[in-house]
């Protein structure tokens, strides 16, 4: 098995080292990741300046590693197109420092890097460890290796991305794994307004998560109950239930006087 490993916390983050280390036990790993943190970069790609690549040595890791001055999606695109000698069997991203749950997946560089893998036809998975004072990525790394084994055994198309979130509690408190769906993650008081020394207002993104009661099969609820959440995702955002309505409403045969 050949893995391309990326993230959005940057190539020097502890989570990517643990993910890469776990996967070297299953096959060949190449790390291609941003040279600095690019969390919340979403699916951005770099168009207006050149991408530079530096090969580096990650501590204690027996794998090639490339630091790129781009976004997570850039890293996967460039990695598959240019840097890896052969096409990878899997793109695995993370282990992210903090959750990537529900609608937050749309902001996540870690999830977007995995989506980029899917778009390029490579089976992909994203891994996130819930935030906390202590971050121990070793158990999450083992979960990633198990997911890789399952993905290689099952009939599994590259059109589906696997999004895995792992609770940040001692292993004994984890109740198991739940297959979940995305919910809507809402925040309140999103911005703190302050004044700069010249008297002009500026805004700093903060935000408190609104806790709602949720269906049991929503990813956030599984995490709240100390389950590992595993969600199949798809990058096709088409609203299939509306296709027929749009046709019936006459969008296809009206020109609205243009
Ligand atoms: Mn991150």
Ligand 1 centroid to Cα of residue 158, in Å, is: 23
Ligand 1 centroid to Cα of residue 174, in Å, is: 23
CA-to-CA distance for 4 and 118, rounded, in angstroms?
12
Domain 2-185+214-248 has CATH 3.40.1210.10: yes
Ligand 1 centroid to Cα of residue 249, in Å, is: 42
Using 70 as the pLDDT threshold, list the residues of the chain that sit under it. Answer: 254-258
pLDDT at position 253, please?
78
pLDDT at position 258, please?
66
Ligand 1 centroid to Cα of residue 48, in Å, is: 24
Q: What is the pLDDT of residues 132-161, one digit of tens each?
A: 999 999 999 999 999 999 999 998 888 899
Which letter, b or e, does each residue of 197-211 get, where b requires 16 or more Cβ atoms within 10 Å of its Cβ?
eeeeeeeeeeeeeee
pLDDT at position 194, please?
96
pTM of the model: 0.95
Ligand 1 centroid to Cα of residue 46, in Å, is: 18
Q: Which of 103, 99, 100, 51 lies closest to 73 in space, CA to CA?
A: 51
Across 130-246, the runs of DSSP E, i.e. the strands, are 161-166, 176-179, 187-188, 191-195, 201-205, 208-209, 227-233
pLDDT at position 250, please?
83
The radius of gyration of the chain from alpha carbons, rounded to an integer in Å, stands at 20
Q: Residue 29 is encoded by which pair of tokens?
A: 């790993």
């Amino acid at each position: 098995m050949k893995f391309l490993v990326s993230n959005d916390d940057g190539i020097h983050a502890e989570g990517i080292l643990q993910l890469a280390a776990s996967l070297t036990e299953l096959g060949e790993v190449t790390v291609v990741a941003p040279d600095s943190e690019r969390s919340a970069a979403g699916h951005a790609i770099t168009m207006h300046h050149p991408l530079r690549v530096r090969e580096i040595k990650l501590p204690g890791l027996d794998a090639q590693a490339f630091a790129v001055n781009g976004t997570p999606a850039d890293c996967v695109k460039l990695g598959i197109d240019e840097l890896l000698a052969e096409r990878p069997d899997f793109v695995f991203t993370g282990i992210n420092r903090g959750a990537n749950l529900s609608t937050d997946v749309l902001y996540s560089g870690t999830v977007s890097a995995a989506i980029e893998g899917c778009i390029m036809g490579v089976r992909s998975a994203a891994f996130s460890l819930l935030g906390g004072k202590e971050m121990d990525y070793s158990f999450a790394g083992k979960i990633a290796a198990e997911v890789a084994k399952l993905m290689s055994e099952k009939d599994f198309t590259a059109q589906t991305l696997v999004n895995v979130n792992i609770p940040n509690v001692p292993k004994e408190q984890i109740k198991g794994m739940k297959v979940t769906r995305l919910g809507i993650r809402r925040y309140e008081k999103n911005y703190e307004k302050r004044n700069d020394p010249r008297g002009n207002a500026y805004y700093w993104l903060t935000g408190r998560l609104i806790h709602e009661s949720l269906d049991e099969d929503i990813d956030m609820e599984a995490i709240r109950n100390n389950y590992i959440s595993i969600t199949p995702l798809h990058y096709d955002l088409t609203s299939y239930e509306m296709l027929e309505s749009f046709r019936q409403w006459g969008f296809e045969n009206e020109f609205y006087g243009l």
